Amino acid sequence: MADEALFEFLHMEVVSYLFKTADEEKCIPILENMGYRVGHSLAERFTRDSSRFKDELDIMKFICKDFWTSVYKKQVDNLRTNHQGVYVLQDNRCRVLTQISASKQYLEAAPNYLAFPCGLIRGALANLGISCIVTAEVQNMPACKFQIMIQRSQ
Amino acid sequence: MTGQRSFKMAVCVAVISKENYPLYIQTIPTEDELKFHYTVHTSLDVVEEKINNVGKTTNDLRELYLGLLYPTEDYKVYGYVTNTKIKFVVVVESSNTALRDNEIRTMFRKLHNAYTDMVCNPFYTPGDRITSRVFEKVVNGMMLQDS
């Protein structure tokens, strides 16, 4: 379906435009901030009809299921936690990476495409009351791991 | 006007941020506006209490709508908290018997929808005071209704 591809194409263009025009070291933070704002708004919209979340894990499940489905048309494949504020979301076919050749060739370029999704998660969680740091890790191309480290205020 | 009092739905509508500062507060034209600010302010403790009890009591409150927060002599205060911890408070007159739980629910629903639409406006910075005209229109629609 065309509408599913739209986001991917737009995202690719945003990334390539930024890397052409802005300083290289500024690109990732800019993309991350864009994602943050989008995630913030999306969280507001997607949680409108859901019931109140019980705890942190409940919110994470929401991110893995409803949020992921709405944004990427699939669920997160695996969610793990050490129960001490670290969550790992594994997506075996990350939408933003599926158009890139699944070999080691473009592994270096992958972080550029994952900055926006990281910001997206961070923004959504921030709006739901969890401040955190989100990092992404790629080992085999379309698979990606997002690590969420919760920052406790106290 | 024939001197007959128009039928009012809400006398005060307020939107409170996550950090408990007011994002928006609108009252009916009155000299005693501060009284409503005070009423809304005191209701925040009740809101806090209600959301902190989620998961602890048996009658689990998983709904966003909190119901009647507290009645005063002249007014009834209702609350609603979104998943993003934005609080909506609506004050209605106690004498207003036409408003039942269902109507209040619908009111909050409308308010929430208007709020989400407003947040998704790219020119709005989250956490700022609400100045959106569309939002204001929705609120005004709740406050006045000629019978």
Interval B38-80: pLDDT, tens: 889 999 998 888 887 766 655 556 778 888 888 888 888 999 9
CATH number at residue A72: 3.30.1380.20
Range of the domain at A57: 2-150
Provide the b/e sequence for B110-121 (b: ≥16 CB within 10 Å).
ebbebbbebbee
Q: Which residues of B touch A128 (CB under 8 A)?
A: 83-84
Model pTM score: 0.84
Q: Quote the number of domains for chain A.
A: 1
Measured between alpha carbons, how far is B80 from B73 in angstroms, rounded to an integer?
Answer: 21
User: For chains A and B, what is the number of CB pairs under 8 angstroms?
Assistant: 46
Strands A78-81 and A86-91: antiparallel
Name the residue type at position A48. R
Query: Is the confidence at residue B4, as pLDDT, over 60?
Result: no
pLDDT higher at A81 or B99 = A81
Write down the ipTM of this complex. Answer: 0.80
A41 near B CB under 8 A: yes
Q: Which residues of B touch A38 (CB under 8 A)?
A: none
In residues, how long is chain B? 147
Sorted by where each starts, the structural domains of chain B and their CATH numbers stand as 12-143 (3.30.450.70)
Residue A106: C-alpha distances to residues A72, B20, B108 (Å): 21, 47, 50
